[in-house]
Amino acid sequence: MPVTSDTFPVRLAYGRGHLTVPLPVGRTEVMEPLFQPGLPDEKTGVEQALASPIGTRPLVEWLKPGVRICIVFTDITRATPNERIIPWILEALARAGVKDSQITLLNATGTHRGNTPAELETMLTKAVVDRYRIINHDCHDDASLVAVGNMRNGRPALLNRHLVEADVRIIIGFIEPHFFAGFSGGIKGIMPGVGGLDSIVGNHGAKNIGDARSTFGVTKGNPLWEELRDVALSIGDSFLVNVTLNESKAITGVFAGHMIEAHQAGIDFVRTSAMRKVDKPFPIVITTNSGYPLDMNLYQGVKGMRAAAQIIEPGGLIILAAECSEGLPTKSPHEELLFSASTAEELLGRICSEGFSWPEQWSAHIQTLIQKKAEVLLYSSIPDEIVRRAHLTPCHDIAQAVNDRLAKLGPDARVAALPQGPLTLPYLA
């Protein structure tokens, strides 16, 4: 729909670009993160953080002759600027006398697919791929895993042996609000980043996912996050290098050092820009999954959906704009689980039944919990038939869908828009 005198354009993050949607003037509240300028010199910012870390000694003091180093980096579904951060860290290690053969780069895929050589070149630069040993973590490969204790359900806590057996562990990540672990980054680079499937499924099971404390903005008291923390710390000290980003993916802060203390400093920084207080819920909330790479598939798209659910009124309408260029993703455990039930209600019942366990069940679990509260439309590149099999309603015109619902609700109904999706953390006062 075109912009008229009664509407104004709102740019929604979508894929590698934006959707411009006309929304009603005077009835729409747009909520975005407070803009944070990028660092004037990102490389210097990273180098200074390595030299003056939070809560621990400088990185160079962790290094000894012959030391084995494992650098864990986020996979392609995350916006971490690995292609900038990692070469700078490798340069710092080389200056300290570390040889290339002492370093292993471990891709923290969690339960996701491994990344292709071409993707790794994009993520890390071709120079890094050509020069260093790089491994895709595989949560299914028992031979690559080692037990470091037990999960709270009594099953082994399994982590990638390259990380566990390293003398120095460097964990790279990106801090943003997370839909069930409170905030991304920090200990998540270790578990679930390089965890075994059974351990991850145990932590992300129905009991933890269904706990009200397992949500955006909550770490302390969050049973899911606290178990991840305990596993991550059980292997000894790790050196954290986490960043925060603005909408243009410029680095706004570098938080390096102690796993918990440095992460907490990053969380405090993110809270100031991401949190938005809302006095009362909205009948309509439009959201995104902050564009590429997070909106590559519907499995990730539930993050944006849950951000909207924080401020939707019961029976309201959520519209998620997520490109989903990889589908649900196609031929994945997530797709299979969604297709296994005829309704969202039936699927929720299955997931919450005694003894149920499924890879990546947490995304479907949260989706179906949201659908108990609100109707959800999906604007995406996924074919309509597949969207419906995923228990959602296809949307082809966001502005028209908003206008249709407003016509039923009356002149006092209001709309909320989250152009950056889960990068904004709305909450009810």
Strand 312-321 to strand 375-379: parallel, antiparallel, or no bridges (unpaired)?
A: parallel
Does the model's pTM come out above 0.85? yes
Q: How far apart are CA 16 and CA 21, in angstroms?
A: 16
Whole-angstrom distance, CA of residue 194 vs CA of residue 172: 12
Between strands 251-258 and 239-245, the pairing is antiparallel
User: Do residues 307 and 287 make contact, with C-beta atoms less than 8 angstroms apart?
Assistant: yes
DSSP string covering 202-228, please?
Answer: HHTSHHHHTSTTSSTT--TT-HHHHHH
How high is the pLDDT of residue 307?
95
What's the rounded Cα separation, in Å, for the pair 214 and 369?
13
- Residue 381 CA to residue 14 CA, distance in Å, equals 11
CB 350 within 8 A of CB 356: yes
Per-residue pLDDT of the chain (429 residues; tens, 9 = 90+): 676 779 999 999 999 999 999 999 999 999 999 999 999 999 999 999 999 999 999 999 999 999 999 999 999 999 999 999 999 999 999 999 999 999 999 999 999 999 999 999 999 999 999 999 999 999 999 999 999 999 998 999 999 999 999 999 999 999 999 999 999 999 999 999 999 999 999 999 999 999 999 999 999 999 999 999 999 999 999 999 999 999 889 999 999 999 999 999 999 999 999 989 999 999 999 999 999 989 999 999 999 999 999 999 999 999 999 999 999 999 999 999 999 999 999 999 999 998 898 888 999 999 999 999 999 999 999 999 999 999 999 999 999 999 999 999 999 999 999 999 999 999 998
Token pair of 117 as six digits:
């050589």
pLDDT (0 to 100) of residue 1: 63
Q: Go through the domains of the chain in sequence order and give each one's CATH number.
A: 7-30+279-428 (3.90.226.30), 42-272 (3.40.50.11440)
